[in-house]
Amino acid sequence: MQIRQAIDSDYAPLMELYNEFVETDRFSSHNNDSFSRVIKNPHNFVYVVEEGGKLIAFAAFSVRDVIRYPRPIAELDELFVSAHHRKKGIGSKLMEQIEKKAKELNCHRIFIESHYDRKAAHAFYEALDYLNYGHYFIKDL
């Protein structure tokens, strides 16, 4: 198992994982996402887990400044482990990688976005000592 930053050639297998993540075929066509911009942005990080030449998990986070903290924050946007590879410590290893990178970048804290109905994910984050902090609100523009 290898954890590494995503590269351009990861596009198709990563989009397959995204489809599994969102439980629909939303990412089959190119230009329906911001993959290229995200992996080229120095404030965004996408890690993939590769095993036997196949992508089995990914995590995406960004680093940004906010007025209320003296140092930047990291925000985990997505973390997904393929169903066949869960309960093997892969998610924990991804989180370790993210925490390590956030510390290198002098981040104040990590925020995590997780849909309210993903109870297993909430239990996972709490087991890693993350505090259930609040709610997110969204509005499409």
CATH code of residue 34: 3.40.630.30
| C-alpha to C-alpha distance for 80 and 3, rounded to whole angstroms | 13
Contact 123, 67 (CB under 8 A): no
Q: Is residue 11 part of a domain?
A: yes
Host domain of residue 11: 2-127
Q: In this structure, are residues 90 and 56 in contact, taking their beta carbons and an 8 Å threshold? A: yes
Assigned domain for 133 exists: no
* For residue 59, pLDDT beyond 80: yes
Total number of domains in the chain:
1
Q: Residue 75 domain-assigned? A: yes
Residue 74: inside a domain, yes or no?
yes
Query: Residue 119: inside a domain, yes or no?
Result: yes
Q: What is the pTM of this model?
A: 0.89
Tens of pLDDT, residues 9-42: 999 899 889 888 887 776 666 666 788 899 999 9
In a domain, 30, yes or no: yes
Contact predicate 101/109, CB 8 Å: no
